[in-house]
Structure 1
């Protein structure tokens, strides 16, 4: 017999089943991404300072976790998402994990992304969704919080593009609080007072740290990191590599 403060057997069993399902989904995604990271990790990516261990348990099916539409579980497909560009119903969603202090993320943003937007995003073939991580110290955390603050006022893409456009070719950008505010002013964030207040929001900081931990658990131990369809790619590869990569993803999507 259960007391008022003791969960019933049925409640415990339900919680246990939910826990097993969640663990299977995370472990399935982790093994998939872990394999492709090992296979494709080359020069042109910045490694996380303290990458988390990655599980290799694939669950009963051994298949990577997918949504009903065939997208990986981290694909958002939200028409109001400020951290995305392109048609919400595009055949392919390419997810990019970025750190605003990563020089290779900046190189991709400056040198390769504009051409991909013109040929794949603007033509309706590909949607790009961005996920912020903080792999290079507290300034990376602060920068990711600032990116979310810009997203809160629908200036995320403009904000991150401006930071990457001004980044050094080598080493990590020095993104102090004053610099982060200056970039917000440059890209026309409407309410700078609100933006500045968001920089001190502990909920945004916790969101950044939780997102970083989740990325590491998925096997994203270096940035930039990409998943399009069910195939991953790591690093600021040549534009021709990305075109082949996206062509294959679009073809696979039918």
Structure 2
């Protein structure tokens, strides 16, 4: 198994020197949680910012899941990164750098505009333009992308998913210790929650 940074270099195609920025403050990678801490069911989502299936789920299904299951206290939702490529890895870093209060807003922005920035000639510039709406300027994005500790943390999230939960595609969901790959609809999640809360 490749070590995190070697894996990162293989995926992104950059050198260690290119990722090291003098004076950049390291930001520790963390998963992000939505919903009540004591919700009876926990669902973990593994997703990649360049995955069209993930974007479709985020844009079309997740708002319903949030309204019916998360906002009602039935589900605690945990989002974890599983970047499929170097661009997704960088987008994950930028979302992390947005901060806890803006994280899910940036996630939503990136998925809503995925077709524009992910397929552009310069995806990183596209990401910069997108996150300006969340108050992040180009310098903030550059500092994020130079944060080796953060990048390694994101790569570590993917490696853990593969080794611990047999995740190999996105989106993938963990519910009550079981792994479910592929896009799911509101009915799927509702049925699972009902089964677990009988």
Supply the distance in 2 between the matched residues of 1:156 and 1:231 (Cα, whole angstroms).
Answer: 26
Across the two proteins, how many residue pairs are aligned to each other? 167
In 1, the alpha carbon distance for the partners of 2:157 and 2:129 equals 25
Decide which of 134, 140, 153 is 2:83's aligned counterpart.
Answer: 134
Q: Give the distance between the partners of 2:31 and 2:162, measured in 1 at CA.
A: 23
Q: TM-score, normalised by structure 2?
A: 0.75
Flag structure 1 segments of 5+ consecutive residues without an equivalent.
1-49, 51-80
Measure the CA separation in 2 of the matches of 1:185 and 1:250: 41
Alignment of 1:1-254 (within 5 A): 83-135=32-84, 137-150=85-98, 152=99, 154-168=101-115, 173-174=119-120, 176-189=123-136, 193-218=139-164, 219-251=166-198
Which structure: larger Rg?
1
Asked whether the 8 Å contact 2:109–2:131 carries over to 1, the reply is no
Q: Which protein is richer in helix relative to its size?
A: 2
The list of structure 1 runs, each at least 4 consecutive aligned residues, that deviate by more than 3 angstroms after superposition, is: 172-175, 191-196
Alignment RMSD (CA, Å): 2.4
Q: Using a 3 Å threshold, how does the CA distance of structure 1 residues 83 and 173 change in structure 2: closer, same or farther?
A: farther
- The structural deviation recorded for 1:220 is 0.4
Maintained 8 Å contact 1:149/1:199: no
The 3 A distance-change label for structure 1 pair 82 and 192 is: farther
